[in-house]
C-alpha cells in the first residue's frame, strides 16, 4: 500500500496531477509516476498508439511555458511533463488548433498527449481566431481533470483562459464534440430541405422548412438556458469560496478541483456549510487531502479582503455627498496649457553599468535601469488619463522619454488600476514592442490578460516574486481601486520593493500617509531610494486619506529612513485643486522644516536622469 508524503502530494498538485474522485492512492501514485516519466517512454509507443513523432525540443518547452503562465494563475497547475506533437493528424477544422489524445491501455495508467497543428510551429495564431498561448492554456486545463469525467463545468473552466468575455461566456454552450455534430447536422438538414423545396417548387411542402427550423432553434434555446444556469452556479460557487479563503488564487484553484456535484452544492451553501463539508471530506479522499494541504494549510487568509472587495486597514471611502461637496466648493486653479520640455536622448538610456539610473518620464512613470534590467513604473504615454481620449485630465507636457526611444523593457510595475497608473494604451504598446513581464496587485491579471497582455504576475500585500536577480515584494498602500463604479475595490492596490542583494528601491505607487511605512522599514531595512508621491493632495479634507501632501511625503521619507527619495505624481495631469507649482514648492518648505537638504528628496524634471552608485 502506497502512502504519499505531503511534499509528494504538493509536487503532483503543481504538475496538474490531481486524484480523480474515485481514484485510490495506489492507482494515483502509479499514474503520477508514469506521467512524469512519459517523455522517456514515448519511443516504445511509436508505431503503435502514436502515429507521429513527438516534438522534444526547446520550442515545445517554450510553447508549454507560455500556456502555463495562465494555468498557473487560473488553476494553479503547470503540467510541462505533457509530450507535445506538431501534427494535423485527424484534426478537422472544428477542432480549432489542437486536440488531446488520452490513452488508457490495459495495465497502463491514463496519460495525456498534446497534438498541436503544424502551422503553430512557426505561427502564434490560427485562422485569425486562436492565439497559441490562449489555446494551449485552454487545453492544458483539461490535464488536471483527466480522471474526473465531469462534463458540466469542464468547458466553463477551460474557457476562463480566453481573452474575450464573449468567448468566456458563450464558448462552453456545447459541452462535447457530439453535441456540436448534432447541432451542425440539424442545421445541414434544414438547409438541405430548404433548397430541395425551393428548387423543386413543391408548394404543398413550403410549411416543412418553417417547422424544421424550430428544431435547431429549440436546441440552441435549451443549450443557452443550460449555459446560463451553469455559469450562474459556477460564479456563485467561486464567490462563496472566496468568502472562505479570502484569497482569490486559492479560491480559483479549489474550484478547479471540484466535481460537478460539488460546484452545484457549493453554489447553494453558505460559507459555514462549505467549511464544514471540507473538514469532513479532507480525511475521506486523497483529492480533498491534497486540496486541504495545498490551499487550507498553506494559504494566508487576507486581512484586507472580504471575499468581494479589498479594503484598507483604516477607512478611506468618500461618499457621493463628499464628492458633490468637493465639486460644488472646488477651488479654481489655472494650470499652464503646455510646458515645453526636451526629452532625453536615446543614447543617454543605453547605460550598462551596475549603478542605479533613474529617468523621470512623467507623473508616476520612471525608467529604472539597474544591473542590465530596464524597469518601468506605472507607465503612461497617453495624452489623457481617462477612459476616453477626448475628455478627462490632459497632460501639460510631453513624456520625458519618447516611446520609440525606450531601451528594451524587461519589467513593468503597475501599482493599481486608476487611469493615471494603468494606461491600457501604453501597456498594449509595451506588450507589442517589448513583451515585458507585468507585476501588479491581486485581481488585475485577468483584466490585463483579456486586454492582450501575456506575462502577468499578480501579488497580495507582502507577497514576493523573483525576476532575474531581483526579489520583488508588493507592499500595502492607503488608497483604493476603480476603473468604473461597478468594480470599485475589486482589485488590489499597493507599492513595490525592488531588491538586489542588500539594496532596494521602494516605489510607493499612489497612497495616503500610513503607518505601514514604519512596517516596511522594519521588514526590509532602509531603502537605498524611495519614489514617493507628492501631488493631487488638495483639498486636504477630501484627499488626505488617499494622497500624500509634500509634508506627508517628507514624513514617509523619515519613517522609512530612506537614504534618498525622488518626488513623483505631480506636474503632469491636473487631478486636484493645488496650483501647478505648489507640490515642489511645498516639498522644499517641508524639507527645510525638518532640517533636510534638498538632495535628500530630489525633484526631477521630465526627461531628467540621476545615477546612484
What is the full DSSP assignment across 262-330? HHHHHHHS-HHHHHHHHHHHTTT-HHHHHHIIIIISSSPPPSSB-SS-B--SS-----HHHHHHHHHHP
Banded model confidence at residue 1, pLDDT cuts 50, 70, 90: very low
d(CA 489, CA 360): 29
CA dist 287 → 145, 292, 363 (Å): 11, 9, 49
d(CA 276, CA 271): 9
What is the pLDDT at residue 512? 94
Residue 63 has pLDDT above 90, yes or no: no
CB proximity list for 444: less than 8 A, separation 6 or greater: 414, 416, 417, 422, 456, 458, 491, 492
Global pTM?
0.76
Strands 365-370 and 373-377: antiparallel
- What DSSP character marks residue 452? T
Percent of residues, the chain, with pLDDT higher than 90: 47
Q: Which of 377, 380, 557 is nearest to 472 (CA)?
A: 377
Strands 84-86 and 464-467: unpaired
Contact 376, 413 (CB under 8 A): yes
pLDDT tens profile 421-447: 999 999 999 999 999 999 999 989 888
Mean pLDDT of 219-223: 82
Residue 80 has pLDDT above 70, yes or no: yes
Question: How wide is the angle at C-alpha 13 spanned by C-alphas 79 and 52, nearest 5°?
Answer: 25
Q: What is the 3-state secondary structure (H, E, C) of 189-233?
A: HHHHHHHHHHHHCCHHHCHHHHHHHHHHHHHHHHHHHHHHHHHHH
Q: Which of 569, 520, 579 is nearest to 547 (CA)?
A: 569
All cell numbers assigned to 464: 514576493
- Identify the weakest region by mean pLDDT among 83-87, 316-320, 571-575: 316-320
Mean pLDDT of 305-309: 80
Q: Which of 395, 353, 366, 372 is nearest to 531 (CA)?
A: 366
Contact 478, 546 (CB under 8 A): yes
What is the pLDDT at residue 106? 59
| Other CB atoms within 10 A of residue 436 CB | 22
Where is pLDDT greater, at 56 or 484? Answer: 484
Quick check: helix, strand or coil at residue 92? coil
pLDDT tens profile 166-218: 888 988 887 766 777 777 777 777 777 777 666 766 555 556 666 666 777 77
Quick check: helix, strand or coil at residue 128? coil
Query: Structural domains in the chain?
Result: 347-612 (3.60.15.10)
Residue 535 has pLDDT above 90, yes or no: yes
- Identify the weakest region by mean pLDDT among 4-18, 323-337, 451-465, 552-566: 323-337
- What DSSP character marks residue 144? G
d(CA 418, CA 471): 25
What is the pLDDT at residue 229? 94
Question: How wide is the angle at C-alpha 70 spanned by C-alphas 411 and 40, nearest 5°?
Answer: 105
Banded model confidence at residue 299, pLDDT cuts 50, 70, 90: low
All cell numbers assigned to 246: 479570502
Residue 50 has pLDDT above 70, yes or no: no
Banded model confidence at residue 56, pLDDT cuts 50, 70, 90: low
What is the pLDDT at residue 438? 96
d(CA 544, CA 517): 16
- Find where cell 501588479 sits: 440
Banded model confidence at residue 105, pLDDT cuts 50, 70, 90: low
Residue 518 has pLDDT above 90, yes or no: yes
CB proximity list for 299: less than 8 A, separation 6 or greater: 245, 247, 249, 250
All cell numbers assigned to 593: 522644516
All cell numbers assigned to 84: 507535445
d(CA 124, CA 117): 11
Contact 64, 112 (CB under 8 A): no
Banded model confidence at residue 100, pLDDT cuts 50, 70, 90: low
Mean pLDDT of 5-25: 91
Contact 450, 165 (CB under 8 A): yes
What is the pLDDT at residue 309? 85
Residue 357 has pLDDT above 80, yes or no: yes
d(CA 157, CA 255): 9
- What DSSP character marks residue 46? B
Amino acid at each position: 500500500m502506497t502512502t504519499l508524503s505531503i511534499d509528494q502530494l504538493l509536487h503532483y498538485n503543481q504538475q496538474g496531477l490531481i486524484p480523480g474522485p474515485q481514484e485510490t492512492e495506489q492507482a494515483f501514485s502509479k499514474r503520477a509516476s508514469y506521467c512524469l516519466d512519459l517523455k522517456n517512454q514515448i519511443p516504445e509507443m511509436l508505431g503503435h498508439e502514436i502515429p507521429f513523432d513527438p516534438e522534444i525540443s526547446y520550442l515545445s518547452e517554450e510553447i508549454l511555458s507560455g500556456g502555463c503562465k495562465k494555468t498557473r494563475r487560473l488553476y494553479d497547475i503547470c503540467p510541462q511533463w505533457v509530450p507535445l506533437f506538431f501534427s494535423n493528424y485527424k484534426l478537422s477544422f472544428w477542432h480549432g488548433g489542437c486536440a488531446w489524445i488520452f490513452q488508457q491501455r490495459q495495465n497502463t495508467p491514463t496519460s495525456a498527449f498534446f497534438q498541436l497543428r503544424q502551422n503553430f510551429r512557426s505561427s502564434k495564431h490560427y485562422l485569425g481566431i486562436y492565439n497559441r498561448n490562449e489555446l494551449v492554456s485552454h487545453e492544458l486545463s483539461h490535464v488536471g481533470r483527466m480522471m474526473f469525467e465531469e462534463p458540466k463545468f469542464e468547458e466553463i473552466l477551460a474557457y476562463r483562459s480566453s481573452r474575450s468575455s464573449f468567448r468566456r461566456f458563450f464558448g462552453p454552450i456545447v459541452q462535447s464534440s457530439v453535441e456540436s455534430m448534432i447541432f451542425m447536422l440539424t442545421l445541414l438538414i434544414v438547409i438541405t430541405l430548404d433548397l430541395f423545396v425551393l428548387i423543386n417548387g413543391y408548394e404543398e411542402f413550403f410549411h416543412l422548412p418553417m417547422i424544421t427550423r424550430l428544431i435547431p432553434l429549440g436546441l440552441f434555446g435549451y443549450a443557452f438556458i443550460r449555459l446560463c444556469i451553469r455559469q450562474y452556479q459556477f460564479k456563485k460557487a467561486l464567490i462563496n469560496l472566496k468568502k472562505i479563503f479570502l484569497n482569490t488564487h486559492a479560491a480559483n484553484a479549489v474550484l478547479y478541483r471540484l466535481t460537478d456535484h460539488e460546484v452545484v452544492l457549493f453554489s447553494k451553501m453558505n460559507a459555514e456549510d462549505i467549511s464544514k463539508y471540507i473538514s469532513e471530506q479532507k480525511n475521506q479522499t486523497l483529492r480533498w487531502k491534497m486540496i486541504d494541504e495545498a490551499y487550507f494549510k498553506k494559504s494566508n487568509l487576507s486581512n484586507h479582503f472580504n471575499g468581494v472587495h479589498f479594503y484598507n486597514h483604516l477607512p478611506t471611502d468618500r461618499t457621493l455627498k463628499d464628492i458633490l461637496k468637493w465639486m460644488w466648493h472646488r477651488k479654481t486653479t489655472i494650470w499652464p496649457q503646455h510646458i515645453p520640455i526636451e526629452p532625453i536622448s536615446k543614447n543617454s538610456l543605453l547605460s550598462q553599468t551596475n549603478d542605479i539610473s533613474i529617468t523621470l518620464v512623467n507623473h508616476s512613470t520612471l525608467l529604472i535601469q539597474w544591473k542590465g534590467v530596464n524597469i518601468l513604473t506605472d507607465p503612461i504615454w497617453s495624452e489623457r488619463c481617462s477612459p476616453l481620449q477626448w475628455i478627462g485630465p490632459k497632460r501639460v507636457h510631453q513624456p520625458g522619454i519618447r516611446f520609440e526611444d525606450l531601451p528594451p523593457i524587461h519589467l513593468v510595475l503597475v501599482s493599481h488600476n486608476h487611469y493615471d497608473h494603468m494606461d491600457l494604451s501604453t501597456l498594449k504598446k509595451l506588450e507589442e514592442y517589448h513583451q515585458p513581464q507585468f507585476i501588479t496587485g491581486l485581481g488585475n491579471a485577468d483584466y490585463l490578460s483579456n486586454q492582450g497582455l501575456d506575462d502577468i504576475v499578480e501579488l497580495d500585500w507582502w507577497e514576493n516574486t523573483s525576476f532575474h536577480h531581483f526579489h520583488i515584494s508588493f507592499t500595502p498602500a492607503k488608497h483604493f481601486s476603480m476603473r468604473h463604479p461597478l468594480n470599485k475595490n475589486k482589485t488590489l492596490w499597493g507599492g513595490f520593493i525592488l531588491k538586489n542583494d542588500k539594496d532596494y528601491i521602494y516605489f510607493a505607487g499612489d497612497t495616503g500617509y500610513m503607518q505601514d511605512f514604519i512596517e516596511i522599514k522594519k521588514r526590509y531595512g532602509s531603502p537605498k531610494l524611495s519614489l514617493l508621491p507628492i501631488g493631487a493632495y488638495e483639498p486636504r479634507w477630501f484627499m488626505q486619506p488617499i494622497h500624500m501632501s509634500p509634508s506627508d511625503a517628507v514624513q514617509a521619507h523619515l519613517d522609512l529612513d530612506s537614504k534618498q527619495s525622488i518626488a513623483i505624481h505631480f506636474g503632469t495631469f491636473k487631478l486636484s485643486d493645488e496650483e501647478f507649482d505648489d507640490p515642489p514648492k511645498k516639498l522644499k518648505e517641508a524639507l527645510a522644516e525638518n532640517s533636510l537638504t534638498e538632495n535628500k528628496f530630489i525633484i526631477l524634471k521630465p526627461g531628467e536622469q540621476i545615477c546612484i552608485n
